[in-house]
Structure 1
Amino acid sequence: MGSETVIYSGVGADADPWHDLPRTSARLADVLGDAGALQIVSSADALAALLDQVGVLVVNASANRGGPTPADQQFGRLVERFLAGGGGLLAVHSSTIAFPGLQSWHQTVGASWEQGRTFHPPLERTLVRRTEVKHPIADGMGDFWVEDERYTDLLLVDGIEALYEHTHDGVTHPLLWAREVGGGRVVYDALGHDERSYDAPERVELLRRSAGWLRG
């Protein structure tokens, strides 16, 4: 496992019309770049060429299609190899939409966007609540306000323990969790629709703490 941070920023089949991934990837780079070398890539081939140098892989991607592509399969194998080597994966926001039909990806992240079930209330200033789950990423932090989308009714794998959650129509839904998968560590952060999300200092702190935990 290397020491660099690499952001996989979706383009083409790994993007959608609703998320400005180049802009949010640039903000992620601003937040995480202080920790050391950082690169942004947009293809599985480019990621494969760097993988041995990577300590933290950030995935900021999406999709507007119904099934996997050969590149998805390649990406899934790269992620499995990366985690098996002790790497740390940070998946943000629409990455639960990305690589549709690639079950290994959604099992790794811990959730997927299910058409006809998953939704989000209108983007607005909202309170994100700290749960009682103890974890180094969030210990000592509390609730905070952020202007963002709140993914609701994601299809979750068993055993998810949220560090942060939101409430919609009286029901709580997880927004951020951390887990160990396949020899490595994984954090999913459902926030990050656009640049406004990165204006919340608490969100920035969570991202930096997440990267630190993923490095072990």
Structure 2
Amino acid sequence: MTGEAVATVRAMLVIGGGYHDFDLVRRRLLDLLGEQERIRTICTHDFRDQDALAAANFLITYTTNIFPDAQGLRILEQFLAGGGRWLAIHGSAAYIEFSGPEVEIGGIRLPGLTDTPDRHPGYMDLLGCRFLSHLARQPFTVHPVSDHPLVAGLPPFEVVDEPYILELRGESEILLESRYTGEAPGYVKGPWLEDVPRPQAVLHRHGAGEALFLAPGHSCGRYDMQPFIAEIEPQVGPWDSPAYLELLRRAIRWGAHLTVGVP
């Protein structure tokens, strides 16, 4: 063997929580990560493997109601401050709990309205945004609004997804936007009737590192809404969309500190 060894990228993939098709998303992300020979990935369902996080260069999360403990939050802050990059998708910005009496929404009986109190402020500050609620799942168009390499030259594309309403935390660069208004069925917060741009990709810098949040990414399998409903029609969301997968490819190269847009 001759020549200088090529450094590998240590990625940590955290996928877990509830109400989403985590198996489908895990497969899609591992396929995309596997396209980059330099990336070596550890998979887990929460933040308890703090040694893996401390050793990682790149963190990817697709979670709902999964958060690090106090020590894990310190490690996450150090990870970003030291130059790590965090790709957080969809529910990774969400903390939800149920409030009030039982309600039935779209044939699904819930133990109350879905509320999103700010229970994890340190985590949300590091991410740069927080989920508040969403409109009913529907098609909408996502538009690039930046010349950042992550989205430069990317045409507008349509997704069938949950239109997210976000609260921004600290200074951020908005890379993708959409516009929509409407009710937020089943949520405490809403309706959202003001016709304003809605961030879909938020880039937040912390120290030498960066966090990129992508709002689109909903997917739900036939049995993923149990115990609230026995079966639903599977929802693949944008995970079969060529434009969305191209965005994720760019995000993975960005997270690995590789040149974005180069295969």
**Range class of TM-score, shorter chain:** 0.7 to 0.9
The equivalent position to 1:120 in structure 2, one of 134, 140, 148, is: 134
1:32 aligned residue = 33
Deviation of 1:203 after TM superposition, in Å, equals 0.9
The aligned runs of 1:17-166 (5 Å cut-off) are: 18-35=19-36, 36-46=39-49, 48-63=50-65, 71-98=68-95, 101-113=119-131, 118-131=132-145, 133-152=146-165, 154-166=166-178
1:193 aligned residue = 218
Contact residue 53 and residue 76 of structure 2 kept, 8 A: no
Deviation of 1:127 after TM superposition, in Å, equals 1.1
Are the structure 2 counterparts of residues 149 and 110 from structure 1 closer, same or farther at C-alpha, using a change threshold of 3 Å?
same
Are the structure 2 counterparts of residues 61 and 137 from structure 1 closer, same or farther at C-alpha, using a change threshold of 3 Å?
same
Deviation of 1:160 after TM superposition, in Å, equals 2.7
1:184 aligned residue = 209
Distance in 2 (CA, whole Å) between partners of 1:158 and 1:53 is 26
Q: How many residues align?
A: 199
Deviation of 1:186 after TM superposition, in Å, equals 1.2
Deviation of 1:39 after TM superposition, in Å, equals 2.3
Per the alignment, in what secondary structure is the counterpart of residue 119 of structure 1? strand
Distance in 2 (CA, whole Å) between partners of 1:129 and 1:138 is 9
Structural RMSD (CA): 2.3
The one-letter amino acid paired with 2:130 is: S
Gaps of 5+ in 2: 1-6, 97-117, 182-194, 220-235, 258-263
Cα deviation 1:138-183 (Å, max 9, x = unaligned): 111120112211202x121243331111111332100102232122
The equivalent position to 1:6 in structure 2, one of 2, 12, 15, is: 12
The one-letter amino acid paired with 1:39 is: I
The one-letter amino acid paired with 2:217 is: G
Deviation of 1:23 after TM superposition, in Å, equals 2.8
Are the structure 2 counterparts of residues 167 and 130 from structure 1 closer, same or farther at C-alpha, using a change threshold of 3 Å?
same
Distance in 2 (CA, whole Å) between partners of 1:109 and 1:33 is 25
The one-letter amino acid paired with 1:43 is: D
Per the alignment, in what secondary structure is the counterpart of residue 178 of structure 2? strand
Distance in 1 (CA, whole Å) between partners of 2:214 and 2:171 is 16
- Structure exhibiting the larger radius of gyration computed from Cα positions: 2
The one-letter amino acid paired with 2:9 is: S
Distance in 2 (CA, whole Å) between partners of 1:155 and 1:56 is 24
TM-score by length of 1: 0.82
Query: Percent identity over the alignment?
Result: 28
Distance in 2 (CA, whole Å) between partners of 1:97 and 1:123 is 16
Are the structure 2 counterparts of residues 119 and 51 from structure 1 closer, same or farther at C-alpha, using a change threshold of 3 Å?
closer
Per the alignment, in what secondary structure is the counterpart of residue 44 of structure 1? coil
Deviation of 1:98 after TM superposition, in Å, equals 4.3
* Bigger fraction of residues in helix: 1
Gaps of 5+ in 1: none
Per the alignment, in what secondary structure is the counterpart of residue 48 of structure 2? helix
